Structure 1
Amino acid sequence: MSLYVDIRKKLGNFTLETQFEAAEGVTGILGASGCGKSMTLRCIAGIVKPDEGHIELDGKVLFDARKKINLRPQERHVGLLFQNYALFPNMTVRQNLMAGLMAEKQDKRAAEAKIREMLEKFELVGLEKHKPAELSGGQQQRVALARIFLSSPKMLMLDEPFSALDGYLRWNLEQELLETLKDFDGPTLFVSHSRDEVYRICDRVCVMEHGSSSPVIPVKQLFEAPESRAAALLSGCKNFARAEVKEAAAADKPGRVYVQDWGETLAFAKESTAEVNYVGVRSHYIYPVTGEEAAAKPENTFRCQIEKVIDDVFSTVIMMKPVNAVESEESRKNHFGILRVETTKEFWREFWQKECAGRENPQKDIWVYMDPTDVMVLR
């Protein structure tokens, strides 16, 4: 079973233009707030009508602008879990679940049997007479999921289901949701702006930026080899700079890229056919090194001035500026000339004692190294 989406929708100054395919399993839609993630789900569910395009689920056309096909939400058999769960506040749990069966014409005995099954499956027995306001966030989510499953959906769509929950509850519900999804045979779309959620929950991912979607890729590829600055940013990379490839990488040798905002030419390992405009390096892949280590391994090693040392909860963050950084308005505006380096507290403490203690002006400059395999060239 698979989903095919190719739609366009204009809303004021915003244009949604997205195309992707999703097979069985969990496909993440990752993007910042306002990029069109939720609107995409609403178009698939039939709540919002696209201006143009085509939506097809398991060979059944849900929407086609040219053929004037636009099935009602009840005819699409698509389950959408809203951020706030959209439970009826004046109804009990049982009544909310019964609403999930209203579209299916069943006799009362069959309906009651299905509701009992869902009450047990989602651990809601004993809460049948409670209203949503009397339930915890986790219980509300389980009611909403149970109601969706009662409608026998062919696919699931989860719209940031953990966004309103605190960290501890979010983790527990995530584990419950993963168990639920194991028993579902159809495709699932999981919308989130959290890279961590997408990494843990999804098999594949589609990145959305300003209403446009990228091709669906394996989720690990997003973190190991993103293609664009937007994708790398969403995957958690915090260091970017403008760049120009001087020599392309090949299977047997690294390429070379001039990073103008850092004033350095770096080696990189990834082969790329796309136009390169930026480099990106993750904070924990930039390594402070001693002067002796820098002399022994000069490639991709350069000197920086330390701007600030931040004691974070579980790590030490060092903000630094390459000594050859080229100042410009764009560089300052986008923080291209500043590096964020993250290490363990123990490493930084030992490094400081070995390399910086005893200097006339300690904590002013430092050598850093980045492996060519960790230098990402991006469009």
Structure 2
Amino acid sequence: MSNELLKVNIQKKLKEFDLNVDFELKKGCLGILGPSGCGKSMTLKSVAGIVNPDNGVISLTTNDETVYYDSNEKINLKPQKRNVGYLFQNYALFPNMTVEENVAIGLPKDYDEKRLTDMIKRFRLEGLEKRYPRELSGGQQQRVALARILAYSPDVILLDEPFSAMDTFLKEQLRIELSNVLKDFDGFSILVTHNRDEVFQFCDELLILDKGKIIAKGTTHDVFENPKKVQVARLTGCKNISKVEIIDDYHLKSLEWGITFEVAEKISQDITHIGIRAHDFLPAEKDDINSFDTINATKLEIPFEWQITLANGLWWKLDKKYMIMNL
């Protein structure tokens, strides 16, 4: 069994709140999801050595342990000593260097030309070698930045909202490309985002941050399937959330929607809310369990689905194909 492990346990006093994160990553990709200003990027910058925590430990164990930061032992490795690749939101390419010069910066001084050629080919940058960043599209700039990072074989890749400034078409293209890069990467990666689709696509493990505190962590699928907290449900994209009144072990009433639901699992007395994802509704017969009418609903058409808002406030997303075949 592999003992490779990235450990992060840090605290830092910030203007709006105190950052306090504690996690371990055993290879693969970890997602950090949360609203803007919750401490996501500060966590990445602490791992990279760009900012210093007030207290804590950051360490990487591969063949042996490398301590990046330890407040008690007064250890604080400089960023260039950490072998960490950081993909900034704006890619941070050197504007006065060509594509091949930007990529070569990531290689040792005595690098083999074949290594540079391989990286150019791998990231489909052939024909762009002599261009400068200002002459590249956003997607090309991202590929150059990734080539530069992977050229020096980092132990850890940090991705800080890499798709935030892109249009929808380019974003979809680059998500596929980055997904392939990460699958081939035999190391640790951390993706920071406020986009639930990105975290679901890329990340094996997930942390959810709110005002500097971890409010959920686990496998990505588990956190989405069972968010447990209202704020976690919202951040993972749940549109329908209501306070409830518990009736008995298997029935509860939504106070916002005025509907009584029957549930499959015994209801804990700690339950305060119910959440229903907008895609989880299906057309039903009137006497089916958990069925209700759609009188006075409003319907909004978007390219591939209908967004239906019921009179009681419930929000339903229904695939157009389903409506054509079944309604």
TM over 0.5: yes
Whether 1:321 and 2:311 are equivalent positions in the alignment is yes
- Match in the other structure for 1:150: 151
Deviation string, structure 1 residues 16-67 (Cα, Å, up to 9, x no partner): 2222222211222222222221111111100011112221111322112222
Of residues 29, 37, 44, the one that matches 2:47 is: 44
Whether 1:340 and 2:315 are equivalent positions in the alignment is yes
Whether 1:268 and 2:274 are equivalent positions in the alignment is no
- Match in the other structure for 2:299: 309
Deviation string, structure 1 residues 73-122 (Cα, Å, up to 9, x no partner): 11111111111100011111222223223xx5x43xx3544323322222
- Match in the other structure for 2:88: 82
Higher Cα Rg, which structure: 1
Determine the C-alpha separation between the residues in 1 that align with 2:161 and 2:21: 19
- Match in the other structure for 2:10: 7
Whether 1:238 and 2:239 are equivalent positions in the alignment is yes
Whether 1:20 and 2:23 are equivalent positions in the alignment is yes
When residues 303 and 122 of structure 1 are mapped into structure 2, their CA distance, relative to the original with a 3 A threshold, is: closer
Q: Secondary structure at the match of 2:310?
A: strand
Of residues 280, 286, 296, the one that matches 1:285 is: 280
Contact 2:217 2:223 survives alignment (8 Å):
no
When residues 121 and 302 of structure 1 are mapped into structure 2, their CA distance, relative to the original with a 3 A threshold, is: closer
Determine the C-alpha separation between the residues in 2 that align with 1:275 and 1:51: 36
- Match in the other structure for 2:214: 213
Of residues 270, 290, 302, the one that matches 1:300 is: 290
Where does 1:185-264 land on structure 2 (aligned, <5 Å)?
185-248=186-249, 255-264=250-259
Contact 1:243 1:279 survives alignment (8 Å):
yes
- Match in the other structure for 1:56: 59
Instruction: Give the partner amino acid of 2:278.
Output: S
Which 10-residue stretch deviates more, 89-98 or 258-267? 258-267
User: Which stretches in structure 2 are left out of the alignment for 5+ residues?
Assistant: none
Instruction: Give the partner amino acid of 2:179.
Output: L
Contact 1:55 1:63 survives alignment (8 Å):
yes
When residues 127 and 309 of structure 1 are mapped into structure 2, their CA distance, relative to the original with a 3 A threshold, is: closer
Whether 1:73 and 2:79 are equivalent positions in the alignment is yes
When residues 321 and 24 of structure 1 are mapped into structure 2, their CA distance, relative to the original with a 3 A threshold, is: same
Q: What is the CA-CA distance between 1:278 and the residue it aligns to?
A: 1.4
- TM-score of the two chains, using structure 1 as the length reference: 0.77
Instruction: Give the partner amino acid of 1:50.
Output: P
Contact 1:20 1:215 survives alignment (8 Å):
no
Whether 1:29 and 2:32 are equivalent positions in the alignment is yes
Determine the C-alpha separation between the residues in 2 that align with 1:339 and 1:8: 40
Instruction: Give the partner amino acid of 2:273.
Output: Y
User: How many aligned positions are there?
Assistant: 321
Q: Secondary structure at the match of 1:188?
A: strand
Determine the C-alpha separation between the residues in 1 that align with 2:11 and 2:121: 41
Contact 2:83 2:154 survives alignment (8 Å):
yes
Determine the C-alpha separation between the residues in 2 that align with 1:268 and 1:347: 25
C-alpha RMSD of the superposition: 2.5
Q: What is the CA-CA distance between 1:271 and the residue it aligns to?
A: 5.8
Identity of aligned residues (%): 43
Determine the C-alpha separation between the residues in 1 that align with 2:104 and 2:325: 63
Q: Secondary structure at the match of 1:9?
A: strand
When residues 287 and 127 of structure 1 are mapped into structure 2, their CA distance, relative to the original with a 3 A threshold, is: closer
Q: What is the CA-CA distance between 1:172 and the residue it aligns to?
A: 1.9
Instruction: Give the partner amino acid of 1:52.
Output: N
Q: What is the CA-CA distance between 1:156 and the residue it aligns to?
A: 0.9
Q: What is the CA-CA distance between 1:304 and the residue it aligns to?
A: 6.0
Instruction: Give the partner amino acid of 1:39.
Output: M
Q: What is the CA-CA distance between 1:314 and the residue it aligns to?
A: 1.9
When residues 100 and 272 of structure 1 are mapped into structure 2, their CA distance, relative to the original with a 3 A threshold, is: farther
User: Which stretches in structure 1 are left out of the alignment for 5+ residues?
Assistant: 249-254, 323-337, 353-379
When residues 260 and 190 of structure 1 are mapped into structure 2, their CA distance, relative to the original with a 3 A threshold, is: same
Determine the C-alpha separation between the residues in 1 that align with 2:300 and 2:189: 40
Q: What is the CA-CA distance between 1:246 and the residue it aligns to?
A: 4.6
Determine the C-alpha separation between the residues in 2 that align with 1:260 and 1:132: 55
Instruction: Give the partner amino acid of 1:114.
Output: R
Determine the C-alpha separation between the residues in 1 that align with 2:59 and 2:283: 52
